[in-house]
Amino acid sequence: MLKIWENYITELYKRPNRPETLEIQPEEEVDTDENGPYILQSEVEKAIKEMRNEKATGDDDVSGDVLKLLREGGLKIMNKSINNIYETGECPKDFTEVKMIALKKKPQATKCSDHRIIILIAHTAKKIAKILRRRIEK
């Protein structure tokens, strides 16, 4: 049964000209000037404020609603952690894994195509991606 779902999802997300694997060669030494400026706490705050309420959690089990409750001290810690990820390029395991859930489109769903697939990603990972996307778009 799992193999059927694996094949279905692989085909569903298959894109032409997409490499099977992404090979990243480690850099010997990176000049910090090439990384760009550190991520500002105001960028983190803005990304959190824009989150929608009552969204499901990812593998980290941290809801967006909890992130919105962070005050100055919590935001500083989060900002420091995000900058550490930004500097080192090393993400926590929770950030690189997702939960995929199949929801029935029809009451008597029997085929994979009778389901809608949702993907749950850690909210903190989404915020980092949002901040970096904004910087790239500038």
- Position 23 in a domain: no
Query: What would the mean pLDDT of 22-28 be, rounded to a whole number?
Result: 55
Domain that holds residue 130: 37-137
pLDDT tens figures, 36-90: 788 999 999 999 998 888 888 877 778 888 889 999 999 999 999 999 988 888 8
Structural domain count of the chain: 1
Amino acid making up residue 109: A
pLDDT digits (tens, 9 = 90+) for 105-114: 989 988 999 9
For residue 17, being part of any structural domain is answered with no
Q: Is residue 18 part of a domain?
A: no
**Domain assignment present for 6:** no
55's tokens: 């969204």
Q: Is residue 96 part of a domain?
A: yes
CA dist list (Å): 33 to 30, 52, 66, 115: 8, 34, 34, 47
- What are the two backbone dihedrals, phi and then psi, of residue 117, each rounded to the nearest 5 degrees? -100, 130
Tokens linked to 112: 């994979």
In a domain, 31, yes or no: no
The answer to whether the beta carbons of residues 97 and 131 sit under 8 Å apart is no
Q: Residue 122, exposed/middle/buried by CB under 10 A (0-12, 13-18, 19+)?
A: buried
The SS3 of residue 99 is strand
What pTM, to 2 d.p., does this model score?
0.65
Helices (H), the chain: 2-12, 32-35, 41-49, 64-68, 72-88, 93-96, 123-137
Q: Find how far residue 6's CA is from the centre of its chain.
A: 21
